[in-house]
Structure 1
């Protein structure tokens, strides 16, 4: 459902997101990373504004998204220090590891039955001392909601389960903000963790 829906709204999404702001939390995340640090952007969409911002700060960004049209737009912008790949997160394979992993508005699109599978994979991809920043739903369950005229699937697990899964995979929660609001945006849960 989500791949098809995102492909349908790709042009509208690009227009909307390219004029959007970069969250202060993402700005703070970028500041934790050194020059030429490698960042994986999970669910990168069209690459703007987030991947573009990270690259402008001297970071090497790999963006993945399963919506082909989103990646086409991202690649067409030729943002320096970035590469954009069509890939579902669970199918993504690389020998690279990353100093930072960002999943801004993507984990909550993953199937409920796969939520627990996120954290061991992220831990394998993350270097020791690396940071993970992600948004998540704040209620256990799954539902669909319309956006830009198309239907999208969402799911979430309990925040206590997220903490347990992160810790079980060698990551420590640094910050967890419920009901995060910034300008005209709202996220149920924002989590920053670091691999020990």
Structure 2
């Protein structure tokens, strides 16, 4: 069966099952098809390859660009990951933008949606050779003006944040971002 090369089809087709296949095994037709999808700005492809470049390939600008483009296609996981990455960048403009993006997506998705984003990121990070020591060595601190964090982060059960019945009971945006950063840094594998 011939797969259409038309940009519209390549942009819209779901490639999740192809991405999830064992990437260690070379398959020229799969690789060619995925490259065509990426050239056509397939949002799933942009997110996956952006994360590969950012977290495993140390091609930070290229990876961030692809993640940002996936977020423009309203891929919720891309917005979540982009918010975290920008928060962890250390650059003031990016930190502010990251906090705005992350709080916005958390308000939109609520419990189960955020759990899905966390799991996707965790599973991805545990499936690659993580090489981005810029993130792993620079954990940011989000200062809550009300100083809620000490109470919140000292009494939490990490497993609860991956539970499908997760309900977010934190109302402070600063504390929510601090919690997501804490979870993100717990997800990070050791740098290879």
* TM-score for both structures, normalised by structure 2: 0.30
Higher strand share: 1
Q: Which has the larger radius of gyration?
A: 2
Higher helix share: 2
